[in-house]
Structure 1
Amino acid sequence: MAAPTERRGSLARVQQASKTYWSSEPRAGSWSNIRRASADLPVAAIAGAAPRRSLGASSGQDKYDGEKPASDEEFGVGDIHEGEEKYHRLGWKKLTVCLIVEAIALGSLSIPGAFAVLGMAPGVILSIGLGLVAIYTSYVVGQVRMRHPHVAHYADAVQLIWGKFGYELAGAMFAVFLILITGSHVLTGTIAWIRIVDDTAICALAWGIISAVILFIVALPPTFAEFAILGYVDFVSIIIATGVEAHSAPGGLSGVDWSVWPPPTTTFYQAFLATTNIIFAYSFAVCQYSFMAEMHTPKDYVKSIWALGLIEMFIYTVTGALVYAFVGSTVKSPALLSAGPVVSRIAFGIALPVIFISGSINSTVVGRYILNRAFPKSEIRLIHTKAGWLTWLALIATITLVAWVIAEAIPFFSALLGIISSLFISGFTFYFPALFWFQLIKEGKWYVGWKNICLSILNGLVFCIGLITLGCGTYASVEDIVSSYASGSVRGSFTCDATAYGG
């Protein structure tokens, strides 16, 4: 029998072919291409081979350690093919769809309320301006991945600039952020069920549990390529519901009390909380590395972020402007609460698939991240064995349970989104990408050449936006929670009271 290093399709051959494959462009193929390529490599090219990169590199750590290549018996080539091939099937169009479904549900629900606080003109300006900034920072985020192909999660990128400390800090932020997002979807689902059933006598905790169970079930598929185009349903349901409600209001659209500028009663914390709700809508850079890791041609991410950014800018701006114009200063957050009882029930029913599917994507991303961290060199992380599936089920169940606890502990829609934006999106969308550009992307001194000067100023402004959001946004969110409790306008934590969301 041939030695392991001489066998067709051996792990060492696959690793050498993989290195060649991922350093070439375009990479229009799949893991099976690597296996085919490995058959053509001369044995001499791999026999004492180069320091290997561990298959667990997706955990975020560069594993070139010079250790002896593992044999096929340690990690079978068949297992590699079966486990890895299913994770490299995303094209740029599917990536765009995944990002839209992940981002659009809560964003479009929160934007109209932000317009009501900020006024029509500032709302439109911020919706378009922050959208353009988000497109740029997502481009920078992707450039880091293109220059450092081992980057599979946001923490891997931060490790490049801040070392081990940055890796652990960003990893914790990444996990907590996504669990908080899942919690916000549990809360939105709870609100939706209460409005659909239209019976406030039923305990709100029960609807929260039902929402958590649905999110758990939908999050079980461990890959992203299967998600359907459901993000548009949310936008359509909001426009239809609030449009019908405005049409039936006294005086029609002409009787709606919307204003071009912020109402005189708007306070600083209210205005900044509204701004953080718009910032929340453009958080797609956070999961970008996770999705790019599944692309068969990663360089196509540029098409995805432009398509996603422009689509979101259009949807958010039109949704915010139209719903505010339809409903006026009394528009609520989430926006579907602004419709009448019957129309709101129908609209929330239409939006339910979006609420749960977009929420489940966050559970899947954080689950994959934790699994890769916990089992970097084990088949468990590939989720194609009994042990892998049992581990995956337990992990998703734990994530969902924590998300439910968060939803019940902070049952304030706008404030919860504000906290998420301030503590996490401020970094993932603003100050981290700015630091990436200065430390990983910039070529030469910042003051040499007009291009470097302009980009340095731009990234400096982006960095400042991140820090201002972190500080002022956190203050605004806490102030809103305190004010809401004092006024009694929200239900308490872990209570059955559902009257705050009733028709």
Structure 2
Amino acid sequence: MSKIKEIDEKQQPGDVSGTEVDETSSLDTITALVAEGTATPLRNRLILGLFDSNGAYLDHEHEIKLRTMSWQKTAVLLAGDQVCLAIMAQSWSLSVLGWVPGIITMVLAGVLFWITSITMHKYIMKHPQIKDICDFGYYVFGQSKGAYVFSAFMLLANNILLIGFHVLTGAKVLNTLSGHTLCTAVFSVIATIMGIIMSAPRTLHHVSFMSMFSSACMGIAILLFLIFAGIEKAPLYGYNGDYPTDGPVKTYAFPLPGTTWVNCMNAVLNITFLWVPQILFPTFIAEMERPQDFPKALAVLAGISAILFIVPPAIGFRYLGQYSTAPAFGSLGVTAYKKASFGFVIVPTLIIGVIYANVTAKFIYSQVLGKSRHAHSNTVIGWGVWGLIMIGIWLIAFIFSEVVPSMGDFLSLLSAAFDSFFGFIFFAVAYWQLNRGQLFAGLTRTTMTLVNVFIMIVGLFILGPGLYAAVEAIIADYSGATTPAFTCANMAI
């Protein structure tokens, strides 16, 4: 007798029972499917998304195997994505908000990150056919095609703009290291070409190996920065002028007098941007051998993030005070210190761009080739389409990096417009879907329901006032001098 219970023909793949997902049942279903392979009724295999139209298990019989990542490799991939340059912008956030609001915002963002990520995992375990954030949006909003299209647009816009930001960052690093020996646009071209070459692997299993080097290099950059910030006599540069234009270095508990609401809101967006990587998680889970082990990888990431997202920024603020810039490398007073620490950032800059490019390309690739044999085999057409998609993604990202005068402001815009959904709103709705009918069944469930109401409020606040603040910052920057498109100007920090 089959170990798998027939899926109720009356229940569609995205239906939600109205109670917390029974993870054991979902795990048994996935495990049994892997074990039984083609012995399982074809409809069940298709619904779970683990098999192709011929009933073959994707990872057991295809040349290109997707479900190959262990939770350890997933943890490495998560760390490679999260241990990034944005950490070095948090000292600036503290310089705007002060110790008390800044640390509270960081800790709260971390707690909400954990809760929303666990909710996402529970929902995906109930719907194993989810392969990316677009599928997640489709199911969580009642199998709405409109939600799928909206999520797809958000995925493409968010990821391509972020890749563009990494192209620009790569050009900044090369400018800084070389002393601006070439036109900045040329450095951007170099970074783009390097990104395209590194994006060749079609599975995250291969990309995870790159992530180990990414995390290590970013860790070295952070460590060197902390050492140099501690041993130098004073910082060199701040947004209010060179030291000591703005007085002796100082730290403070609350925002300084004259700090605008727009600056405070953008500092908050800067923090939430760092803590909201969930747009990638469904794709990561879809390539795991045991999706049920994702919380283990998530716990590793949470531990790393809790340390790196708070401790280095706090030390940076302690030594740079009101002279903190984003990234903090720019405030170092000795040029050699700046080059030695910032130079290591080139590795995570490119590899994180590769991770976002891989997730983006997979979505486009699935729309182009679907479940044809080219999607999972080493064919000329399959690799040709993959290469063309990847080149297209990086070229569009390159154009954005060159024509947008202030990528920093647009990152705030991305955080407000996209992270509000992919970091908060989607998962508050998913919680309601998982638990509707029993939202207040007991003290623990009631508490979690109230927490998720708060998560929805946070998402709406970031989408509303947060988006307004981001737009106001862009308007203010555009009212001054802007960098021309495809510039040769020196953009070294």
Q: Which residue of 2 aligns with 1:299?
A: 292
Equivalent AA in structure 1 for residue 100 of structure 2: A
Equivalent AA in structure 1 for residue 127 of structure 2: H
Q: Does 1:381 align with 2:375?
A: yes
How does 1:351-366 map onto structure 2 within 5 Å?
Answer: 351-366=345-360
Cα distance change, pair 493–335 in 1 and its aligned pair in 2 (3 A)? farther
* Native 8 Å contact 1:214 1:356 kept in 2: yes
SS in 2 for 1:90: coil
Q: Does 1:454 align with 2:447?
A: yes
Give the whole-Å Cα distance in 2 for the aligned partners of 1:288 and 1:213.
27
* Native 8 Å contact 2:133 2:279 kept in 1: yes
Deviation, structure 1 residue 299:
0.9
Q: Which residue of 1 aligns with 2:468?
A: 475
Q: Which residue of 2 aligns with 1:220?
A: 200
Q: Which residue of 1 aligns with 2:227?
A: 243
Give the whole-Å Cα distance in 2 for the aligned partners of 1:347 and 1:366.
30
Q: Which residue of 2 aligns with 1:502?
A: 492
Give the whole-Å Cα distance in 2 for the aligned partners of 1:438 and 1:22.
20
Deviation, structure 1 residue 425:
1.1
Cα distance change, pair 78–246 in 1 and its aligned pair in 2 (3 A)? closer
Q: Does 1:316 align with 2:309?
A: yes
SS in 2 for 1:329: helix
Deviation, structure 1 residue 324:
1.2
Q: Which residue of 2 aligns with 1:8?
A: none
Residue of 134, 140, 145 corresponding to 1:155: 134
* Native 8 Å contact 1:408 1:494 kept in 2: yes
Equivalent AA in structure 2 for residue 182 of structure 1: I
Q: Which residue of 1 aligns with 2:62?
A: 82
Q: Which residue of 2 aligns with 1:329?
A: 322
Give the whole-Å Cα distance in 1 for the aligned partners of 2:235 and 2:261.
32
Give the whole-Å Cα distance in 1 for the aligned partners of 2:322 and 2:49.
51
Deviation, structure 1 residue 351:
1.7
* Native 8 Å contact 1:237 1:351 kept in 2: yes
Give the whole-Å Cα distance in 2 for the aligned partners of 1:372 and 1:351.
32
SS in 1 for 2:84: helix
Equivalent AA in structure 1 for residue 120 of structure 2: V
Equivalent AA in structure 1 for residue 184 of structure 2: A
Deviation, structure 1 residue 387:
0.7
* Native 8 Å contact 1:55 1:376 kept in 2: no
SS in 1 for 2:202: coil
Q: Which residue of 2 aligns with 1:16?
A: none
Give the whole-Å Cα distance in 1 for the aligned partners of 2:292 and 2:375.
26
Cα distance change, pair 483–448 in 1 and its aligned pair in 2 (3 A)? same
Deviation, structure 1 residue 50:
5.1
Give the whole-Å Cα distance in 2 for the aligned partners of 1:56 and 1:405.
39
Residue of 383, 386, 395 corresponding to 2:389: 395
Give the whole-Å Cα distance in 1 for the aligned partners of 2:147 and 2:471.
27
Deviation, structure 1 residue 382:
2.1
Deviation, structure 1 residue 132:
0.9
Q: How many residues align?
A: 454
Give the whole-Å Cα distance in 2 for the aligned partners of 1:366 and 1:148.
21
Give the whole-Å Cα distance in 2 for the aligned partners of 1:390 and 1:419.
34
Q: Which residue of 2 aligns with 1:51?
A: 43
Cα distance change, pair 445–386 in 1 and its aligned pair in 2 (3 A)? same
Q: Which residue of 1 aligns with 2:241?
A: none
Deviation, structure 1 residue 359:
1.3
* Native 8 Å contact 1:88 1:294 kept in 2: yes
Q: Which residue of 2 aligns with 1:268?
A: 261
Q: Does 1:234 align with 2:218?
A: yes
Give the whole-Å Cα distance in 1 for the aligned partners of 2:111 and 2:100.
17
Cα distance change, pair 50–56 in 1 and its aligned pair in 2 (3 A)? closer
* Native 8 Å contact 2:428 2:452 kept in 1: yes
**Cα displacement string for residues 436-455 of structure 1 (whole angstroms, at most 9, x for unaligned residues):** 1112x115243343233212
Equivalent AA in structure 1 for residue 417 of structure 2: L
Give the whole-Å Cα distance in 1 for the aligned partners of 2:216 and 2:102.
21
Equivalent AA in structure 2 for residue 442 of structure 1: N
SS in 1 for 2:83: helix
Deviation, structure 1 residue 469:
0.7
Q: Does 1:466 align with 2:459?
A: yes
* Native 8 Å contact 1:186 1:212 kept in 2: yes
Give the whole-Å Cα distance in 2 for the aligned partners of 1:92 and 1:243.
33
Deviation, structure 1 residue 466:
0.7
SS in 1 for 2:205: coil
**Cα displacement string for residues 238-292 of structure 1 (whole angstroms, at most 9, x for unaligned residues):** 342253144222499x963222221212111111111111111112211111000
Of 103-112 and 293-302, more deviation after overlay is shown by 103-112
Q: Which residue of 2 aligns with 1:342?
A: 336
Deviation, structure 1 residue 93:
1.5
Q: Which residue of 1 aligns with 2:430?
A: 436
SS in 2 for 1:424: helix
* Native 8 Å contact 2:166 2:353 kept in 1: yes
Identity over aligned pairs, percent: 24
How does 1:26-175 map onto structure 2 within 5 Å?
Answer: 34=35, 37-38=36-37, 41=39, 51=43, 53-54=45-46, 57=49, 81-83=61-63, 86-162=65-141, 163-175=144-156
Residue of 484, 487, 492 corresponding to 2:484: 492
Equivalent AA in structure 2 for residue 197 of structure 1: S
Equivalent AA in structure 2 for residue 191 of structure 1: K
Deviation, structure 1 residue 482:
2.4
Q: Does 1:211 align with 2:204?
A: no
Cα distance change, pair 348–28 in 1 and its aligned pair in 2 (3 A)? farther
Give the whole-Å Cα distance in 1 for the aligned partners of 2:152 and 2:265.
27
* Native 8 Å contact 2:195 2:353 kept in 1: yes
Give the whole-Å Cα distance in 2 for the aligned partners of 1:77 and 1:193.
45
Cα distance change, pair 218–130 in 1 and its aligned pair in 2 (3 A)? same
